[in-house]
Structures are given as structure tokens and as C-alpha cells.
Chain A
Amino acid sequence: MDALLPSLLFYAFAGVILGSAAFTAFARDIVHAAFSLLFTFFGLACLYLYLGADFVGLSQVVIYVGGILVLLLFGVMFTGHQTQETEKRTVNFYWGLALIALLGAGMVPALLKAPWAVKSAAELPEAKSTISSIATLLMTDYLLPFEIASLLLLMALIGAVVIARGETKTDEGESPETSA
């Protein structure tokens, strides 16, 4: 029972992730595809939690599910409902297949050769909250990378605003779309 339940849970999460990811890739309707991505992100968050990474797991939900995917759906919703535009079309099917085969040929042997560090439950350190250690590391050893990453995000943000606004004009009353 001790070993069965964890592995059962793991396979359930993995099944959800793979299934929803496949649906995202193959669904014809683009909103259905985006919605299915919700389950992929959520499943990933569950796996993180399952690994004892509580902070990473919940950040995954807050950032990807609560932020990025909402914006993605937001964009998709402007494309209208069940028209030709919301259907995905397959382009370069055979080239894509060849690329997958090539990548697979590289990855599968690497996966087979990799030394997996399998440990039994008894060998693992006791599960603790990772938040304070992450915070300490970010504010001490990794302060510079942390700040550089935030600078990069700020640049992207300003860039997005500049591109979205086009030429700066004198119009004072901005439209709700740009401020959203």
C-alpha cells in the first residue's frame, strides 16, 4: 500500500498531463486547445507539489494558469466563435513528422542511457516547506540573476506597451483595450 498509492497518483497526474497536452496539439477548435492546456499546467503543478516543491507548484498555478493562459484565451476570444479562423489548419505535416522522428531518435537513446537517481521513500529527506530557503537564496547567492531576470521582464513589458500603442499621439482618452 505504501508504494502503490504514490505511484498510482503519479501515473494519474502524468496521464492527465499527457492526455491534455495531446488534446491541445490535436484539437481543431483553438479555444478547446487552449482550455485543455489548463489541465496540462494544472497537472504539472500537481507533479511539482508531489515532488515536495510547494512554492514552485503553486507559482505554476498562479503564473501559468492564472495569468498566462487567461491572456492567451483573452486573445483567442477576439477571434470570434466557431468560424473558419478559430479552426487550426495543419501545415507542413510531413516535415513536422520528419522533425519529430529526428528529435525522437536523439532523445530516446539519451533517456535510456540516463542514470536515474531512484530512491526509496525512506532515503528521502523529510518534506519541508521550501519557501524560506528559496527566499534566502534569491536574496543572497542569486540576487544578481534574480534582478537581471526582473529587468528583462520589465524591458519586455515596456516593449510590449510601445509596440501595442503604435505611434504616440496626443489622444488623452485611451481606449479600454489598451489599458487592459
Chain B
Amino acid sequence: MTDSHLFNVLVPSLLKMVVIFHVLLGVVAYLVLVERKLLGRFQQRVGPTRVGPWGLLQPIADGLKLFLKEDIIPTKADRVLFIAAPLISMITALLAMAVIPFGPRFELFGIDFGYLQIADVNVGLLYIFGITSLGVYGIFLAGWSSGNKYSLIGGLRSSAQMISYELTLGLSVIVILMACGSLRMSQIAESQGDGFWNWWIFSTQWYFIPGLIGFFLYLISAFAETNRLPFDLPEAETELVSGYNTEYSSMKFAMFFMAEYVNIITVCSIATTLFLGAWHSPLPFAPFTSVPGVIWFLAKVFSLVFVFIWIRATLPRFRYDQLMHFGWKVLLPLALVNILLAAAGLIAAGSF
């Protein structure tokens, strides 16, 4: 390995890591503000306005408050796991970001940076499922190690919920794999160029049906995976006093909080990459194509994030048995039928 080769590989990767990581964390901080503002609007209020112009400095104030709070570890808690749990949540949330292609290939100062993606691994999608399945440990161990009944129930609920909905999440995406024939995220993104009718949400065979169903199945299970309303039973305030994070304070609490928002961005980015044409513009001609791909990607991601917040403001919470019933007896069979439909469509189209 020569020096220049090392330089050409190492520098772009490091730069991409630093940029994506920092932008992500900045976005997360402001996502909380955006959510509060939007929720306010949905509920005929104005949301936070006091800190800075239009409340723009609110995230900084929140961060400062959380840093300065006393960090409490309950005496009945299991110290090691109590400290490890928020770390696991945060790390797994961030790790999943590594394979998401935010933009097309680009060059800077004569160095080929490749895709705007930290690691272009050929099993990208599988990697995401591996990493997101780790997310349950954070919540789970937090619930157990707190030494608190409410936390324990929250942890149990979340683990059952996440295992159940992970199945649908995985199966809903298989349609794309069948149509595209690759697990590499950048290749899936590349396969959807030239107009929105080529995005996988519309263009899998058999009159768009598998792609559309797959997208909605994915979105519903993504709500459950990120513990958002209407599936936020693990942290139901009214019944469980916030569930698994009841005993957490200060930065440990902040880590769970941030992990939740990073996860929202992750699932929206995955949905964008798989179903919504990644960085490709919706219409393949001049005014649309001259906008940089990253902008398109982020626009799609934040449209989905808006849907997340919208749903939160609209729907009430499921009951626990309804949640399980819905996951196993409605979503899972639907996902399986959807795969059969897609297979039939592909065979009919002769692309197998």
C-alpha cells in the first residue's frame, strides 16, 4: 500500500465520517425543536419561542440544562448495565448511518470521494438490519438494570415489540431486493434514476402494487421500531411513567433521547434510499436535475420525518394486545403475500 493510495482512501473516508457525524448530531438537536414547533402548530399553539429569535436557541439551552443536571444512579440499579444501556442505544443508532448513501459520486481537489456514504459495503442492507436489531439492547437493559418495575415493564414491552416488528420491516424490503438484485445501498440508489416512475415505490412489477405495499409496511414497522406514537408503548407516560428511562437523568437520559431521533432519521433515510429514489430528482430534466443530489435526499428524508411528527400529533396509542395482534396477524401475512406478488410479477415480466 503506497502512501498516496492510503491518502486517497483515508482522507475522503475520514472527512465524510466527520461531516456526516456532525451534521447528523446538529440536525438531531434541531429536530427536537422542529418537532416541538410542529406539535405546537398541530395543537393550535406556537411552540417554544422564548430562547433566541423564534426559539432557535432552544436546543442549546436544552443541551446545557441536561449537562448541568445531577446524574443519578439508583441504589437498586445494576451499575454496569445502567451505564452501558444509553451508550449502546446511542452507538447502534449512529452505526446504522454508516452505509446510507446521502449523495452521488463526487470529486474534491482532484480526489475521488466516491458516494457521499461512509462505507459502501456490498451487504449494506443486511448490515442495517444487523445494527438496528442491536438497538433493542439499549432499551432492554435500561429497563432491567434500573431496578424499577415500571422500567422493567417498559423494557419487556419494547423488546417484544421490536422483535415482532423487525420481521415485517425486513420482509417489506425484500421486494426491493428481488427487483433490484443487490444489497449494496449505493447500487439500489443508482437503480432508480431518471424520474419518479423509476423509484422502487412505483416501479416494481405488477402495476406498482408490491412497491407501494412494501413502502407502507416499511413505514408502519418503522414507527414501531423507533418507538414512536402510535407504537410508543414502551415509554407510555400515562401508564409507565416513561417506561425504560424513568430512572435516567442528565446526559444518560439525553442519550436515549438523541438515539430516538437519530433512529428516526435513519429509518427515513433508509426509506428514501430504498423506495423514494435516494438522491435522484423526481423529474429527469433541467431545473430539477441541476439541484445537487444531497439536497433532494435531505428533502425526501425530512418530508418523511414530517410524516412521523404528523402521525404523532394525529393518532392515539395502541393497546398492547392490539399492537401484537396487528404486527403478527395483519402486517406479517401482508408482507409475505406482498413478496409472493412481487415474485409473480417479476416472473411474469421475465426478469428472473
Interface residues of A (CB under 8 A from B): 1-2, 29, 31-32, 35, 38, 45, 54-55, 58-59, 61-62, 65-67, 70-71, 73-74, 77, 81-82, 129, 131, 173-174, 176, 179-180
> 27 A-B contacts, Cβ less than 8 Å apart?
A2-B1, A29-B78, A31-B81, A32-B78, A35-B81, A38-B137, A45-B130, A54-B121, A54-B122, A55-B123, A58-B126, A58-B127, A58-B130, A62-B130, A62-B133, A65-B134, A70-B159, A73-B137, A73-B140, A74-B160, A77-B144, A77-B156, A81-B76, A82-B76, A131-B123, A176-B321, A180-B324
Contact residues in B for A35 (Cβ distance below 8 Å):
81, 84, 141
Please give the distance in Å from B36's CB to the nearest CB on chain A.
Answer: 32
Cβ-closest chain B residue relative to A66: B133
Task: Give the 10 A-B residue pairs with the shortest CB-CB distance, closest first.
Answer: A66-B133, A61-B130, A180-B160, A129-B122, A58-B126, A179-B324, A54-B123, A58-B130, A62-B130, A176-B321
Contact residues in A for B76 (Cβ distance below 8 Å):
81-82
> Cβ of B134 and Cβ of A66 under 8 Å apart?
yes
Residue in contact with A131 in the complex, picked from B122, B129, B320, CB distance below 8 Å: B122
Residue B235 CB within 8 A of the other chain: no
> Interface residues of B: mostly helix, strand, loop or mixed?
helix
* Interface size class, chain B: 35 or more
Residue B317 CB within 8 A of the other chain: no
Please give the distance in Å from A34's CB to the nearest CB on chain B.
Answer: 10
> Cβ of A176 and Cβ of B140 under 8 Å apart?
no
> Cβ of B159 and Cβ of A74 under 8 Å apart?
yes
Interface residues of B (CB under 8 A from A): 1, 76, 78, 80-81, 84, 121-123, 126-127, 129-131, 133-134, 136-137, 140-141, 143-144, 147, 152, 155-156, 159-160, 163-164, 166, 183, 320-321, 324-325, 328
Please give the distance in Å from A46's CB to the nearest CB on chain B.
Answer: 12
Docked Cα-Cα span, A129 to B270, in Å, equals: 22
Docked Cα-Cα span, A27 to B74, in Å, equals: 22
> Cβ of A77 and Cβ of B155 under 8 Å apart?
yes
> Cβ of B133 and Cβ of A58 under 8 Å apart?
no
Cβ-closest chain A residue relative to B135: A66
Docked Cα-Cα span, A14 to B76, in Å, equals: 34
- Known: A65-B134, A73-B140. Contact between A81 and B166, CB under 8 A? no
> Cβ of A67 and Cβ of B133 under 8 Å apart?
yes
Please give the distance in Å from A8's CB to the nearest CB on chain B.
Answer: 15
Docked Cα-Cα span, A1 to B325, in Å, equals: 56
Docked Cα-Cα span, A180 to B320, in Å, equals: 10
Docked Cα-Cα span, A29 to B160, in Å, equals: 23
Please give the distance in Å from A112's CB to the nearest CB on chain B.
Answer: 35
Docked Cα-Cα span, A73 to B129, in Å, equals: 20
Please give the distance in Å from A144's CB to the nearest CB on chain B.
Answer: 21
Docked Cα-Cα span, A180 to B153, in Å, equals: 14
